[in-house]
Structures are given as structure tokens and as C-alpha cells.
Structure 1
């Protein structure tokens, strides 16, 4: 693995989209259970998907996966740890701070 170089490959993927009063979601599952790591990018090819209210669809498409290089992967992990600390400042108590 090159420390600064990205590699890419194409793979089939399955897209599940639901638009209802309970859910508004879209999930992409890559073929063969390919894992996505910090810093990686996934681009799904094809026209935009439109799902009417109350419907759900499953679509097969092609996706390009770009693997991050070693340096970018480490940088993404480091930044992720610092951004995580922002969540620690949220309070779920029922009292107000003065």
C-alpha cells in the first residue's frame, strides 16, 4: 500500500430506499461484503433514485470504491477522534446550567 496514493475498483452494489411515515432512508451494500475503512470513498453510478411516499425500492447498480492511502486513513482516524469529543459536551439532564 502506497502511503499517499489512492487505489480504486468497481463493484456491484445493492441500494435499498424507503420513503414512508416511519422511515426515510437509503442503504448501500457492496457485493461480497466489502468493508469500507476510514478515508475511503464510495460513488454509486446511475441516475438519481426517486421513491414516492409510501414506497420502497431495491436497485442493483455499479459502485466505484476509492481506498484511502495509509497517511489519509491515519489522518481521518485522528480527526474523527477530535470530532467525537464534541459529543461529550451534550447534556441530557433535565436541569439548566446557570
Structure 2
């Protein structure tokens, strides 16, 4: 029972990978089947051969992905770390002090 707080769970699901490489866009976007929500600390691994497309094109691929859910402890640690990363950004961006 106590280990459930530390254990991560995994499952496979179909996914759609959209890849675009042009002068306006350069991205890869993964959409999981059934609108599965990804939470802080979760991991998604897309399976299949590496994708290569010619410049100036956009292609869509159907693949399978493994989603690994973070344990409650990892989820809490990820949220805590993200909070401190964000506050560090505020400190740098909005510092009223001078460089001497």
C-alpha cells in the first residue's frame, strides 16, 4: 500500500504525429487517442522508426505511444520544481536593481 505512492503506471495508446518542416513552421506535434490528459511528471514515448520529411512538407503519421504516469510523489516534486523555476524567471525578468 505504501509503495503505491511511489509507483508509476504505464499503458499503450494509439497516437497521431504531425510533422511540418518549412520556412514558416518547424514542429512535431503528438496527439494521443481519446484525449488523454498529460499531467506534470508524466512521460510519453512514441514508438516507430525515426521520421524524416522533405523541406516544405507536412505529413501525418499514425503510431503507438507508451504513457507513463508519474507517481503522486513525482507529480508533487515536478510541480514544486516548476514553481521555483518560474519564480527564478520572475526574479531575473523584473529585478529593479542595477548592474554595477
Query: Would you say same fold, with TM above 0.5?
Result: yes
Q: Deviations over 1:42-90 (max 9, x none)?
A: 0000011011110110000000000011000000000000011232112
The SS at the match of 1:86 is helix
Figure out how many residues of one structure are paired with residues of the other and give that number: 94
Q: Which runs of 5+ in 2 are unaligned?
A: none
Matched residues in 2 for 1:81 and 1:18: separation?
32
Q: 1:55 — aligned with what?
A: 57
Q: Which runs of 5+ in 1 are unaligned?
A: none
Q: TM-score, normalised by structure 2?
A: 0.88
Q: TM-score, normalised by structure 1?
A: 0.89
The list of structure 1 runs, each at least 4 consecutive aligned residues, that deviate by more than 6 angstroms after superposition, is: none
Higher helix share: 2
C-alpha RMSD over aligned residues: 1.6
